[in-house]
């Protein structure tokens, strides 16, 4: 159509390079008297924006798993959705919680408890909860501290449960992704589904004690009952323990006998301890609290308060093996790869470690 602009006529229209794409079209104007071209909007003219996602995590030890929260921890491997006009651009935070993207018309940022490695669903709140929907007038840094800190009574907020599980499962994934373990093909495409506020499906009074979580396939169910430090979402060692079961399952190890139950649970307790050590070594500003019992094979704790017919024997043996190597990395490679042979007894496990 034609209108008058400063006593001149011009024609307005849209140019689309590819009509199938969801890009906003170029908006232009051509003056009819002299043919001058006026560019009104061009989505290819983008600006680079950047931000950082930080929040609270529970860094407590077994002795005090509830009260030791650390704020401003970087949230890595988290999806951040950036609204660009009428579409969403998805980016992922790096190990320092940073993200960036080229955007034509930034209107706001959203962070959710999802990422390439972990998805957190809360059976009470629903799936894929948005943590924060922040307009760009407030900048692009996302501060989760106000959303995921515990209440004054010591109970976690719903966001606090979700963020704590999300953070620690990503850290466990980082540990098992290290190249020296040789587990790349088992964890590279592993995406864990964490379901919190689940119900306990087991009925085994007398020997089960308190169940904090359980694993089915690549899903971890964290229960809403009591136990060490409340439910499993507060205790990072319980989170690491359950992730260890996912790795055991992907290596083909199962629960076909009582002895396999003992070995499997022992491995997961061992995993919880070594991942805890890895966290302290690599994130010293966050994880200030060590658990010395994990390096003492005579007093390995039962992290989920279950005996499993004295699985501490297995954990103690694995730590003894680890201490005999000059390199902890070499020992961990041997220990985790022994599961590939699927030992069915204590003797089988010893032979698998030797092989």
Start-to-end C-alpha separation, the chain: 80
Cα 314–Cα 273–Cα 271 angle in degrees, nearest 5 = 65
Instruction: Please tell me whether residue 144 adopts helix, strand or coil conformation.
Output: coil
Mean pLDDT, rounded, of the chain = 75
Owner of token pair 């709140």: 125
How would you write the pLDDT of the chain (355 residues) with one tens digit per residue? 444 444 444 444 444 444 444 555 555 566 666 666 555 555 566 778 889 999 888 876 555 555 577 888 999 999 998 888 777 889 999 999 999 988 877 778 888 889 999 999 887 766 555 566 776 666 788 888 777 665 544 555 666 778 889 999 999 999 999 999 999 888 988 999 998 877 777 665 544 556 778 888 889 988 765 444 456 777 788 899 899 999 998 988 877 788 888 888 888 888 988 898 898 888 888 876 655 556 554 444 444 444 445 677 788 788 888 888 888 889 999 999 888 888 888 888 888 888 7
Owner of token pair 């983008």: 46
DSSP 285: T
> Cα Rg for the chain, rounded, in angstroms?
26
Exposure letters 249-270 (e unless 16+ CB within 10 A, then b)? bbbebeeeeebbebbbbbbbbb
User: Could you give the CA distance from residue 184 to residue 72 in angstroms, rounded to a whole number?
Assistant: 30
Query: pLDDT (tens digit, 9 = 90+) per residue, 79-103?
Result: 998 888 777 889 999 999 999 988 8
Per the CB < 8 A criterion, the answer to whether 168 and 239 are in contact is: yes
DSSP string, 117-150: SEEEEETTTEES-EEEEEEGGG-S-EE-HHHHSP
Percent of the chain with pLDDT over 70: 66
Exposure letters 204-218 (e unless 16+ CB within 10 A, then b)? eeeeeeebbbbbeee
User: Could you give the CA distance from residue 265 to residue 267 in angstroms, rounded to a whole number?
Assistant: 5
Query: pLDDT (tens digit, 9 = 90+) per residue, 159-193?
Result: 677 888 999 999 999 999 999 999 988 898 899 99
User: Could you give the CA distance from residue 340 to residue 325 in angstroms, rounded to a whole number?
Assistant: 20
DSSP 351: H
Tell me how long the chain is. 355
Which pair of structure tokens corresponds to residue 291? 């658990």
Per the CB < 8 A criterion, the answer to whether 57 and 163 are in contact is: yes
């Amino acid at each position: 159509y034609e209108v008058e602009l400063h006593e001149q006529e011009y024609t307005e229209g849209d140019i689309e390079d590819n009509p199938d794409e969801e890009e906003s079209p170029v908006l232009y104007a051509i003056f009819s008297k002299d043919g001058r071209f006026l560019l009104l909007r061009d989505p290819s003219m983008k600006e680079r924006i950047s931000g950082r996602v930080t929040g609270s995590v529970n860094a407590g030890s077994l002795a005090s798993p509830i009260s030791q929260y650390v704020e401003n921890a970087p949230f890595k491997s988290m999806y951040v959705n950036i609204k660009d006009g009428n579409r969403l651009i998805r980016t992922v935070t790096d190990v320092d919680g940073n993200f960036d993207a080229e955007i034509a018309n930034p209107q706001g940022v959203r962070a959710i408890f999802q990422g390439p490695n972990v998805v957190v669903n809360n059976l009470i709140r629903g799936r894929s909860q948005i943590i924060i929907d922040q307009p760009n007038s407030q900048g692009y840094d996302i501060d989760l501290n106000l959303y995921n800190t515990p209440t004054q009574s010591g109970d976690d907020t719903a966001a606090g449960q979700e963020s704590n599980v999300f953070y620690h499962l990503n850290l466990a994934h980082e540990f098992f992704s290290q190249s020296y373990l040789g587990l790349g093909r088992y964890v590279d495409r592993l995406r864990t589904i964490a379901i919190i506020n689940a119900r306990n499906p087991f009925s085994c009074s007398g020997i089960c004690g308190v169940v904090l979580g359980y694993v089915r396939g690549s899903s971890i169910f964290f229960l809403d009952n009591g136990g060490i430090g409340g439910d499993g979402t507060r205790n990072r060692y319980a989170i690491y323990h359950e992730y260890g079961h996912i790795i055991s399952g992907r290596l083909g190890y199962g629960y076909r006998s009582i002895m396999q139950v003992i070995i499997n649970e022992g491995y997961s307790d061992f995993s919880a301890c070594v991942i805890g050590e890895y966290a302290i070594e690599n994130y010293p500003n966050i994880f200030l609290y060590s658990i010395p019992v994990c390096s003492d094979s005579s007093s390995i704790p039962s992290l989920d308060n279950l005996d499993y017919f004295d699985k501490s024997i297995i954990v103690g043996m694995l730590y003894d093996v680890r201490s005999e190597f000059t390199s902890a990395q070499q020992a961990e490679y041997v220990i985790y790869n022994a599961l590939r042979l699927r030992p069915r007894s204590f003797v089988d496990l010893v032979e698998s470690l030797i092989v």
